[in-house]
Structure 1
């Protein structure tokens, strides 16, 4: 029977029709074209019976690949071996070998990632870090075989290419994933444990720059009041020092999360760093800013949609750039730094209880029994505090710092 009758062009240009049809290459090989796609078939006789098996789909299996598989199957037939049985035995042997070797590092890390209750931003950041720096070089290896020295070698390369902090965070994630695998009986050792002593020293923590001098804060507030730009950027800048939320939480605000009648913003748990819903009381000043923005973005889902696409919010870089345009450098204030500003001045100037402030900052505040407060804890007190804070900012903006009194 003549062989190799097809060309790669014929295979590529074969179009599906209502009924399946075959293009024969010879020596038992043919391409079956179905409405759902193309696949390579090998037809042969074994012990007097006609048999047929699927070699693979096209794509990815090319014509050359299919011919190689056909020739290997024909060689098996000459030895008296059924190609179908042989292929099945190979798959079973590979599965047994994989089971004996255990799951791969990629499987372990991805499974661990799927179990974490993180915000979308955190999940994306940690996943990207592990995929790029750990899974790419070591992901194919079984977790039982990975040793501390080879993991350390990879982490030292990360220190050079991605930075010391990136390497340390990657090491921490791998260590935690291994701990979970050990608890599940999938691993017996943790090669990441203790590696920090052999890695580069931990860099000194860099705190977000924040203004805590009332006079200078008043200058910034007046500058923000005179800022001109996109309405959503102007509104976000004015709300950022007032609401005490993280910049990402503010930028992700949705109109459906706001209850203007109750003057309350409910941030759902999937947007929060601590994975708990958070309540933000809105002062009349905040409500006025939001209502002023409604004609511009009220028909959108997001309160602060981006300029290029309404499906994504303005970026943190947009807020940072606005602060720089106002003449305030990175060493003085960042969008995140307004939280430190509020924490300091509410404590030192307005004399509010630290637990009220920490709870409004959505930090992990616990009661006397060690239980986490729920989202409504001290809501009335926090509402009064947020009003006092908004009034205090208004006083600073109006250059009445000396008249901004702490509450009784």
Structure 2
């Protein structure tokens, strides 16, 4: 016959000495020589004797321990191992903690499987942290529905930030697709929000492309009465028509006066992560006018790293708003002319009035190959043609400043 066990009392539990006190049904309180006490349940499953941990005493009292024992016995009657079931529950809880929207978004941000550039990664996470995480970040991603996702987006849209709302929907879609790919969601519910948010009106950068207005702009730049460095930044923006970030971040180490070129390292260009690592430098031929501008700047900032250093410290380039602020000071609104607009200005005028081939212009602008195979087979660099085009452009801007007739300049045959 099974051994009869007298149930424990609360007083016995409190006075327990090192060893085991049995309560019946496999439940016992084990006390160590150090004085700590813990409830266990002894049981057999699949012919093997095992031990199921219940909890520490006195945090887990006698009544709670008995209830846990009864729950474990119910599992045994259903053919389940109580200890294995606990491990399953713990794993489920752990998995649930990494299945929230915020956890998955941060995991995607950390892994960066799409090869985002650092600036985009920072923006991607910062915008989600500000607008999405406070509302849906703690939700299991599988429970997020289209209406739930729409709620924070409409808050942003109501503030008039249509472009931000559109970007957030795209970021949410990337997060949800990643959740689907990693088996933590069934589908990307953001696809159901197409048309639910007003699309932003895309505006081109303000640019002077009318040749009748160009002389006024060029003369205004030459007559700028602000800081000398800012005036040269305006002029070099017009002469080189590179991206504003590359102009203001220009370093003296990239300039070769002997070869009359600027070589912007690949990682400084607006390219994919792979192209940044594997791509070649962007080489810009310098016209005589650009060289003169750089020589003047050499006397001002040649002892530092940057051609256009910050006013406060030479360890950083000038502010990204400096050139635009100077254009506003010259009387040009953001709809009329911007720092980025120098690119459109040169691209348009050189193509329409100087017959510079599109491929040469795209190379000068630092754009990738437009054909489907990209640079896999097309290795042309149009070196001679780019040198000629920059000389044509520099001379043309000189003529505008001097008040000559605005006529196309004939290019020498390559």
TM range (shorter): 0.7 to 0.9
Task: Write out per-residue CA displacement over residues 262-306 of structure 1, whole angstroms, 9 at most, x where no aligned residue.
Answer: 222222333322234422222222222122212322222222111
Shift, 1:223, TM fit: 1.2
- Secondary structure of 1:401's match? coil
- Please tell me whether the aligned partners of residues 215 and 396 of structure 1 are also in contact (alpha carbons under 8 angstroms): no
Number of paired residues?
A: 337
What's the TM-score, normalizing by structure 1? 0.73
Partners of 1:264 and 1:51 lie apart in 2 by 80
- Please tell me whether the aligned partners of residues 247 and 336 of structure 1 are also in contact (alpha carbons under 8 angstroms): yes
- Secondary structure of 1:228's match? coil
Aligned: 1:324 with 2:319: no
- Secondary structure of 1:280's match? strand
- Secondary structure of 2:213's match? helix
The residue that corresponds to 1:393 in the other structure is: 397
Larger radius of gyration: 2
Q: Which runs of 5+ in 1 are unaligned?
A: 1-45, 53-71, 82-88
The residue that corresponds to 1:49 in the other structure is: 33
The residue that corresponds to 2:227 in the other structure is: 230
- Residue 245 of structure 2: which of 238, 248, 262 is its match? 248
1:18-37 mapped onto 2 (5 Å cutoff): none
Q: Which runs of 5+ in 2 are unaligned?
A: 1-29, 37-54, 66-84, 276-280
Shift, 1:391, TM fit: 1.5
Partners of 1:185 and 1:378 lie apart in 2 by 49
The residue that corresponds to 2:99 in the other structure is: 103
1:1-16 mapped onto 2 (5 Å cutoff): none
Partners of 1:194 and 1:406 lie apart in 2 by 56
Deviates further, 114-123 or 288-297: 114-123
- Please tell me whether the aligned partners of residues 119 and 271 of structure 1 are also in contact (alpha carbons under 8 angstroms): no
- Secondary structure of 1:203's match? coil
- Secondary structure of 1:219's match? helix
Shift, 1:369, TM fit: 4.2
Partners of 1:376 and 1:331 lie apart in 2 by 36
1:206-355 mapped onto 2 (5 Å cutoff): 206-275=203-272, 276=275, 277-355=281-359
- Please tell me whether the aligned partners of residues 395 and 404 of structure 1 are also in contact (alpha carbons under 8 angstroms): no
- Residue 126 of structure 1: which of 121, 124, 131 is its match? 124
Shift, 1:348, TM fit: 0.4
| RMSD of aligned Cα (Å) | 3.0
- Please tell me whether the aligned partners of residues 156 and 162 of structure 2 are also in contact (alpha carbons under 8 angstroms): yes
Partners of 2:365 and 2:33 lie apart in 1 by 76
Partners of 2:329 and 2:312 lie apart in 1 by 21
Shift, 1:319, TM fit: 1.2
The residue that corresponds to 1:61 in the other structure is: none
Task: Write out per-residue CA displacement over residues 351-389 of structure 1, whole angstroms, 9 at most, x where no aligned residue.
Answer: 111122123222332347454687862233222212211
Shift, 1:150, TM fit: 0.2
Aligned CA distance change for structure 1 residues 379 and 181 (closer, same or farther; 3 Å): farther
Shift, 1:400, TM fit: 1.7
